[in-house]
Amino acid sequence: MWRGICFKVVKRQKIFSEAAAACREDGGTLAMPRDSDTSAFLTFLCRFDGHKCYCWIGLRRQHEGGRFEWLDGSALGDYKPWCRRKPDGHGDCAFYVANWYGTLRWKNRECDVKLPFLCQITPGM
């Protein structure tokens, strides 16, 4: 639990839409790390779990050529730790990659690629 939200790493690899559906089945959504502290927690969580540090997050381009926004429809905001030269034209869904130093960066890729994913659930919702 971090800041009143429960997070879970799901190692089963799924395409973006299947990952989002799996999180909804548990009453949550794909994780939406909107600040550096939450990102640091998620990096710790994945490393503690012995996980390869890349996972789908709840960020996607809703319309071709459009801007990336969170799955709840909110704007991306000021926190945007994209890898250099990202996002590019190679996919509308976002995943994160944590390097060996614990720095978390986002990349975009095609939504039909299978990756592990992170869910978030707010207790009581």
Please name which of 12, 53, 2, 6 lies closest in space to residue 29, comparing C-alpha atoms: 6
Please give the domain boundaries of the chain with CATH numbers for all domains.
6-121 (3.10.100.10)
In the prediction, which pLDDT does 124 show? 74
In the prediction, which pLDDT does 125 show? 59
In the prediction, which pLDDT does 99 show? 63
> How do the pLDDT tens digits run along the chain, 125 residues long?
889 999 998 989 999 999 999 999 999 999 999 998 998 888 877 765 555 578 999 999 987 668 999 999 999 999 999 988 889 888 999 998 876 565 678 999 999 999 999 999 988 75
Q: How far is CA 96 from CA 25, 27, 37, 65, 123, in A?
A: 22, 22, 15, 21, 24
